[in-house]
């Protein structure tokens, strides 16, 4: 018995984000807060966004969940900070395509250039875990909508 | 004599590989697997005598009605109800509990009344009562849990008072495996003029249940956790209570006379079975009962106890494992491994062909009580072997190593 196939899911970089999450904590000052649950499994994210002039100035999160949901949240905040909101949403759509195993076509970005999120590509092979990976991104989309 | 190989051979699904490994199915508390006899009888209904019940004059309709009502008779005998009038087919435990909460509770509760629950209930035995309380002004009151996940009769006596109208309690906890002292609680409820509603989803599949001996007023369970099909379950209720209750769903099948402005209902149990019922499901449940009876619930319980004790022994040898629930428990073990989230654990085990449940198990208040966001659960049934446990425990050790390397 071995876990060879698990390595496609649990890449080193994912476990690094899980163990040392980036942008974990509470934002000071004015910001938007979104709390989202994954009701089927109990994962929870509390995402805070600071948006100024259509740009994500800062993002932090707290919450609890598995390595996939928490590492995805960590990677997501890294990617969206200092990006215009519409770009963040486009990246979220691209991420969603990646999770569904679709071709990521028609985007102005290259997945390799979007921080570490490419490492989550393996999640698409584990359908039961896709919701874990997309939780933080859904929270971000809702937060951005709140701002608008 | 209980012969595990013979039992396993009756479940075709067990004979397969998942992710390159022999399937080890440890999620029977979520849903049990089905023996060939149940699968066959459901197919047989659709292949040979699919027809609506209680209305066709034609031959197939008669067969279908006989099959459906025959299943009711089997349920009656299985739980020792005093009459088939007390056996109502529902969509499952959730629907059964909701029927009581809608009909009995709303008619009998008023402001200041109390509904007593425990903190180990499944969502389906909490939310219907919350809603009934919101609708009537009644209040919910919770019996606390001991550190080992049991309740004490002293606490039951403390919580159940003359204000109590309903005590709603699970027979066996789907998370802790706790077996609640239903007979004693029923006595306390009745002494205080309350009725007791029991969620039997996790008990009926695994142990002999005699509703008259327990003296419960309502008792709910699902077919799919006891080798039967999904989508069908049972609400047992004492006849005198059911007689007084109004139906919850209105329409075909449940009426006596329909006039333009008013209608009357059929007698029990049909007044609670509006619409075309779950005919194939009920017939399948009947076959599941035959199957369980053939092996014997005492034998099944004994086997599960052996497997569970063995699993507990083996699991305790793993460093950093936390096991929830009491020493004396039904056939399931809920646990957590340090530094491995239950989802990651379940994915890792799945890659070894081992199916366990991870999450909050539809018991968020209990998770809060245990101060965890989620847990993993292995649950056992008559077809599980010690070898299943060995593969599972070995998988746990490997999972711990795999994730341990990162930390």
The CATH number assigned to the domain holding B262 equals: 3.40.640.10
Please state, in angstroms and rounded to a whole number, the distance separating the CA atoms of residues B33 and B24.
12
Question: Average pLDDT for residues A135-144, to the nearest whole number?
Answer: 96
For chain B of 407 residues, list the mean pLDDT of each consecutive stretch of 10: 96 97 98 98 98 88 96 98 98 98 98 98 98 98 97 98 98 98 98 98 98 98 98 98 96 90 93 96 98 98 98 96 96 96 95 95 91 94 98 96 76
CATH number for the domain that contains residue B330: 3.90.1150.10
Closest chain A residue by Cα to residue B401: A3
List A50's β-bridge partners, or say none: A58
- CB-closest option in B350, B360, B395 to A42: B360
The residue out of B270, B293, B316 marking a domain boundary is B293
Q: Which distant-in-sequence residues (6+ apart) come within 8 Å of B158 by Cβ?
A: none
- CB-closest option in A9, A40, A66 to B341: A66
B284 lies in the same domain as B139: yes
**Taking Cα atoms as reference points, which of B7, B132, B9, B27 lies closest to residue B350?**
B27
Asked if residue A63 lies in contact with residue A77, where contact means CB atoms within 8 angstroms, the answer is no
Residues B172, B178, B179, B185, Cα dihedral to 10°: -90
Q: How many beta carbons lie within 10 A of that of residue B26, not counting itself?
A: 27
Q: What is the pLDDT of residue B55?
A: 75
B149 lies in the same domain as B272: yes
B169 lies in the same domain as B141: yes
B316 lies in the same domain as B389: yes
Domain of residue A129 covers: 4-147
Number of residues that make up chain B: 407
pLDDT digits (tens, 9 = 90+) for A50-97: 999 999 999 999 999 999 999 999 999 999 999 999 999 999 999 999
Asked if residue B14 lies in contact with residue B26, where contact means CB atoms within 8 angstroms, the answer is no
The residue out of B230, B259, B293 marking a domain boundary is B293
The residue out of B245, B265, B293 marking a domain boundary is B293
**Cβ separation A129–B347 shorter than 8 A:** yes
Number of residues that make up chain A: 148
Report helix angle A67-80 to A130-147, nearest 10: 40
Q: Which distant-in-sequence residues (6+ apart) come within 8 Å of A11 by Cβ?
A: A119, A122
Asked if residue B174 lies in contact with residue B361, where contact means CB atoms within 8 angstroms, the answer is yes
B203 lies in the same domain as B129: yes
Query: Catalytic site residue B227?
Result: no
**Cβ separation B406–A19 shorter than 8 A:** yes
Asked if residue A62 lies in contact with residue A33, where contact means CB atoms within 8 angstroms, the answer is no
Interface with chain A: mutation pick from B334, B336, B347, highest number of A CBs within 10 Å: B347
CATH number for the domain that contains residue A17: 3.90.1010.10
Residues B83, B30, B376, A60, Cα dihedral to 10°: -110
Residue B325 backbone dihedrals phi, psi, to 5 degrees: 105, 170
pLDDT digits (tens, 9 = 90+) for B73-93: 999 999 999 999 999 999 999
Closest chain B residue by Cα to residue A131: B343
B284 lies in the same domain as B304: no
* Shortest distance, CA A130 to any CA of chain B (angstroms): 12
B271 lies in the same domain as B369: no
Q: What is the pLDDT of residue B4?
A: 98
State how far Cα B318 lies from the chain centre: 30
Burial class (CB in 10 A: 0-12, 13-18, 19+), A26: exposed
Please state, in angstroms and rounded to a whole number, the distance separating the CA atoms of residues B166 and B129.
9
B361 lies in the same domain as B260: no
- Helices vs strands, H then E, count in chain B: 15, 17
Closest chain A residue by Cα to residue B362: A40
B221 lies in the same domain as B114: yes
Interface with chain B: mutation pick from A10, A41, A45, highest number of B CBs within 10 Å: A41
Interface with chain A: mutation pick from B374, B376, B392, highest number of A CBs within 10 Å: B374
B118 lies in the same domain as B18: no
Task: From the candidates B88, B297, B349, B362, give the one annotated as an active-site residue.
Answer: B362
Q: What is the pLDDT of residue A42?
A: 77
Asked if the model's pLDDT at residue A112 lies above 90, the reply is no
**Total of domains in chain A:** 1
pLDDT digits (tens, 9 = 90+) for A4-59: 778 888 888 999 999 999 999 999 999 999 999 987 777 899 999 999 999 999 99
B260 lies in the same domain as B189: yes
B251 lies in the same domain as B265: yes
Please state, in angstroms and rounded to a whole number, the distance separating the CA atoms of residues B195 and B75.
22
* Shortest distance, CA A129 to any CA of chain B (angstroms): 8
Q: How confident is the model at residue A111 (pLDDT cuts 50, 70, 90)?
A: confident
Domain of residue B358 covers: 4-30+296-404
* Shortest distance, CA B363 to any CA of chain A (angstroms): 10
Closest chain A residue by Cα to residue B363: A42
* Residues within 8 A of A (CB atoms), B 338-377 only: 341-344, 347-348, 350-352, 358-360, 364, 367, 373-374
Q: What is the pLDDT of residue B407?
A: 52
Q: Cis before residue B269, ω within 30 degrees of 0? A: yes
Alpha-carbon distances of B399 from A3, A43, A64, B5, B339, rounded to whole Å: 9, 20, 20, 29, 11
Residue A67: list chain B partners with CB under 8 A. 341, 344, 403
**Cβ separation A66–B402 shorter than 8 A:** no
Reading the block at residue B106, the tokens are: 């709303």
**Total of domains in chain B:** 2
């Amino acid at each position: 018995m071995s876990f060879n196939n698990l390595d496609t899911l649990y890449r080193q970089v994912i476990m690094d984000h899980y163990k040392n999450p980036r942008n974990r904590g509470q934002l000071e000052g004015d910001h938007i807060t979104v709390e989202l649950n994954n009701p089927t499994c109990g994962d929870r994210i509390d995402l805070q966004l600071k948006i100024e002039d259509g740009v994500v100035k800062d993002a932090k999160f707290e919450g609890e969940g598995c390595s996939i949901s928490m590492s995805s949240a960590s990677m997501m905040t890294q990617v969206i900070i200092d990006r215009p909101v519409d770009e963040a949403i486009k990246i979220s759509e691209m991420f969603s395509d990646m999770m569904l195993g679709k071709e990521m076509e028609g985007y102005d970005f290259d997945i390799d250039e979007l921080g570490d999120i490419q490492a989550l590509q393996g999640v698409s092979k584990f359908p039961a875990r896709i919701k874990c990976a997309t939780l933080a991104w859904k929270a971000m989309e809702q937060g951005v909508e709140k701002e608008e | 004599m209980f012969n595990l190989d013979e039992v396993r051979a009756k479940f075709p699904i067990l004979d397969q590989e998942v992710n390159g490994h022999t399937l080890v199915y440890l999620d029977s508390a979520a849903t049990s697997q089905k023996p060939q006899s149940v699968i066959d009888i459901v197919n047989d209904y659709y292949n040979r005598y699919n027809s609506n019940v209680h209305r066709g004059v034609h031959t197939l309709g008669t067969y279908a009605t006989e099959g459906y009502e025959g299943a009711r008779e089997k349920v009656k005998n299985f739980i020792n109800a005093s009459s088939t009038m007390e056996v109502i087919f529902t969509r499952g435990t959730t629907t059964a509990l909701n029927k009581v909460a809608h009909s009995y509770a709303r008619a009998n509760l008023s402001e200041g009344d109390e509904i007593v629950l425990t903190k180990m209930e499944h969502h389906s035995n909490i939310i219907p009562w919350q809603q009934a309380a919101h609708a009537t002004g009644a209040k919910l009151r919770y019996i606390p849990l001991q550190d080992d996940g049991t309740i004490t009769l002293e606490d039951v006596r403390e919580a159940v008072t003359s204000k109590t109208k309903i005590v709603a309690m699970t027979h066996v906890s789907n998370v802790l495996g706790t077996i609640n002292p239903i007979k004693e609680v029923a006595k306390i409820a009745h002494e205080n003029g309350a009725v007791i509603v029991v969620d039997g989803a996790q008990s009926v599949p695994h142990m002999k249940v005699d509703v008259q001996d327990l003296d419960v007023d309502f008792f709910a369970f699902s077919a799919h956790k006891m080798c039967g099909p999904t989508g069908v379950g049972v609400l047992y209720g004492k006849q005198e209570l059911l007689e007084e209750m109004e139906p919850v769903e209105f329409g075909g099948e449940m009426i006596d006379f329909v006039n333009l402005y008013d209608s009357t209902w059929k007698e029990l149990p049909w007044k609670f079975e509006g619409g075309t019922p779950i005919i194939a499901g009920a017939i399948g449940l009947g076959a599941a009962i035959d199957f369980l009876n053939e092996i014997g619930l005492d034998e099944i319980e004994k086997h599960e106890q052996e497997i569970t004790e063995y699993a507990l022994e083996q699991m305790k040898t793993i460093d950093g494992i936390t096991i929830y629930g009491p020493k004396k428990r039904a056939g399931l073990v809920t646990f957590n491994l340090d530094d491995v989230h239950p989802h990651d654990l379940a994915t890792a085990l799945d890659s070894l062909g081992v199916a366990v449940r991870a999450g909050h198990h539809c018991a968020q208040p209990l998770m809060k009580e245990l101060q965890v966001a989620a847990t993993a659960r292995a649950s056992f049934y008559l077809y599980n072997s010690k070898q299943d446990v060995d593969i599972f425990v070995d998988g746990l050790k490997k999972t711990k190593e795999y994730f341990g390397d990162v930390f």
